[in-house]
Amino acid sequence: MSEQLPFNSASYFKWLSQQKIMGCRNRTSGKFYFPPRPMCTSSYTDDMEWEEVSGEGVIIAFTVITVAPTLMIEAGYGRDKPYCAGIVRLTEGPAISAQIFGLDMANPASIKIGTHVKAVFIDRGEDEAKRTYLGFEVAK
Amino acid sequence: MDVKKLKRGVSLVGAGMTPFGTFPGLNTRDLFVQAFRDLQGSVDKGFDPKDIDALVIGNYSSTMFEGQNFMAPYVADAVGLTPIPASRVELACASSGLAIRQAILTIASGLADVVLVGGLEKESDLPIARVTDVLATASDSVYENPSGFTFPGLYATLATAYMHQYGATPETFMQIAIKNHENGVLNPNAQFGARISDIMASKQKSAEKRGKPIPSWADEMAFLKDEKANPTIAWPMRLFDCSPVSDGAVALLLVADEIASSFTDKPLHIIGYGQGSDVPTYERETLTSIKAARVAAKQAYATAGVTPKDIKVCEVHDCFTVAELIAIEDLGFFKPGEGHKAVAEGLTTRLGPRPINSSGGLKSKGHPVGATGAGQVVEVFKQMRGEAGPRQVPGDLNLGLTHNLGGSGMAAIVHIFERRH
């Protein structure tokens, strides 16, 4: 399916629903984009190819959120069930925002930047609104 | 660096505002009329509204907050300015910083001599959860929001990155909150013009009244460390690290330099101007600094021909306490990683060597997002003209600076003002 998919966020989420974490590489500049983009902002060409990432990385910044937005309240989070949102730098270089699991949410000061994490897939929403999102959990 | 400068100078000759707060029953237009009245009183020699050539307003989202898109002509009508050109610009929390910049460009182009700038936001009609959602539409809806990020959450990630890199602690952020509340006490337009100690006393009084056990804290810091009194919003950002939900309006009058003397003998010349943009937080090379602000500041200093040490009074965008910490480094007042030490030493207090946010900042004064950038200019106008009353920063304040951020720092606008003798 890879060659037919346009290089954009819709395709990124389509890949995620198949448990594949895909970025794209521009053949002209060699630059790697994660998440994928339709155009290389270095060479200004659209000569892209899909490239899978390992899903491994480290936490470079994080927060533990107790006052949640509607989306997360609907997923059961809030004051009684805080969650970690963070930025993870992938082994391949780029970084991405994601929910991170497996940390001590009651003790955010114990969470360390540099902690190794690996990708997990989060299903959110019901029926037609159901979507798979990229998350991470602490690597064993 | 090749410094591109305006071909025609622009001055600020008047600045008015509503108090910031929550005003049920008043809509954006009502608030703007109040700000306009205040502006009229601030122009020393007065002005005829018929001399205004254009109106530019900064407004983040009357669309979602009030169900009213297309605000500019409605606002122009409210102050009797139709049929002049009326435009609205949007750049999240930097919307009215951008409105000022657009007004400057309009005057510098020669298309106008007198431009009215508005900064407007009416947030409090919506329930708080909806306000949070509306504000979150300025973060990345594709890759940030689905991760559960909120605005406090985005700034909290900058805080954890800063703490990790430079060894700051949550106490640093609390010190900024204490300082800004201390300043806000002296500002009649501030939404939360109360010291932390006043807030502690009122909590004790209210517990007593309700026959509940009376809480006590050793000092302001102990209060701020008490999870019950100061709950975590997005660790390490707690309630008192966050600016409030606010309504408010600001009106500024900008004119061409050569006609400024017919409005006032004490104009502020806008000699420095800069604007920058950046990628979303997850794409940034560094999370301990905001590149858009560094870029905007560099342009502003270069166009003004001044350096950070020349600036006497400064309002920075402390939407969250960590943002003030990063701002004082991005503006070159302190070296990267040194800002938290400066805060701990009290260097940024109103009477210290580097006063920051004498108005109380967004934290205490309030943060009606589209009004914020213009609101900062009101403070600088008052301070530089010696009209700030009990919160007057001492000294000869000939140079002032405003630093206005949009979103998580994907946009920044810096202006430098000069008062000549």
Per-residue pLDDT at B344: 97
Query: CATH number for the domain including A112?
Result: 2.40.50
Of A33, A52, A71, at which residue does a domain stop?
A52
Banded pLDDT at A4 (limits 50, 70, 90): confident
Cα gap B364→B375, rounded to integer Å: 13
How many CB atoms neighbour CB B41 within 10 A?
10
> Catalytic: B181?
no
- Residue A26: is its pLDDT beyond 70? yes
What share of chain B in percent tops pLDDT 70? 100
Q: Are residues A74 and A10 in the same domain?
A: no
Please report the sign of the dihedral spanned by the C-alpha atoms of residue B186, residue B383, residue B408, residue B32. positive
What mean pLDDT is predicted for residues B208-232?
A: 97
Q: Are residues A66 and A109 in the same domain?
A: yes
Active-site residue, from B317, B340, B367, B415: B367
Structure tokens belonging to residue A36:
């994928």
Q: Which of helix, strand or coil describes residue B132? A: helix
What are the chain A neighbours of B237 within 8 Å (beta carbons)?
Answer: 63
Give which of B371, B78, B361 is closest to B241, Cα–Cα.
B361
Query: Per-residue DSSP letters for A34-57?
Result: SS--SS-TTT----EEEEE---EE
Cα gap B332→B347, rounded to integer Å: 14
Structural domain including A87 reads 56-138
Q: Are residues A129 and A92 in the same domain?
A: yes
What are the chain A neighbours of B232 within 8 Å (beta carbons)?
Answer: 64, 66, 82, 108
Banded pLDDT at A3 (limits 50, 70, 90): low
Q: Are residues A19 and A66 in the same domain?
A: no
Query: A45-49, A127-131, B58-62, B343-347: lowest mean pLDDT where?
Result: A127-131
Per-residue pLDDT at A140: 84
What mean pLDDT is predicted for residues B346-372?
A: 98
Q: Are residues A128 and A61 in the same domain?
A: yes
Of A52, A70, A90, at which residue does a domain stop?
A52
What mean pLDDT is predicted for residues B70-94?
A: 98
Banded pLDDT at B1 (limits 50, 70, 90): low
Q: Are residues A66 and A43 in the same domain?
A: no
Per-residue pLDDT at A2: 52
Per-residue pLDDT at A54: 97
Q: Are residues A127 and A97 in the same domain?
A: yes
What are the chain B neighbours of A133 within 8 Å (beta carbons)?
Answer: 146-147
Q: Are residues A121 and A103 in the same domain?
A: yes
Q: Are residues A134 and A75 in the same domain?
A: yes
Cα gap A63→A82, rounded to integer Å: 10
Q: Are residues A13 and A37 in the same domain?
A: yes
pTM equals: 0.97
Q: Are residues A66 and A122 in the same domain?
A: yes
Of A14, A29, A52, at which residue does a domain stop?
A52
Find the chain A residues whose C-beta atoms sit closer than 8 A to any C-beta of B.
9, 35, 60-73, 77, 79, 82-83, 85-87, 94-99, 108-109, 113, 124, 131, 133, 135
Query: Per-residue DSSP letters for B10-37?
Result: EEEEEEEEPPPB--TT--HHHHHHHHHH
B289 to each of A86, B169, B172, B304, B330, how far by Cα in Å? 17, 17, 16, 23, 6
Total tally of structural domains belonging to chain A:
2
Q: Are residues A77 and A115 in the same domain?
A: yes
Banded pLDDT at B349 (limits 50, 70, 90): very high
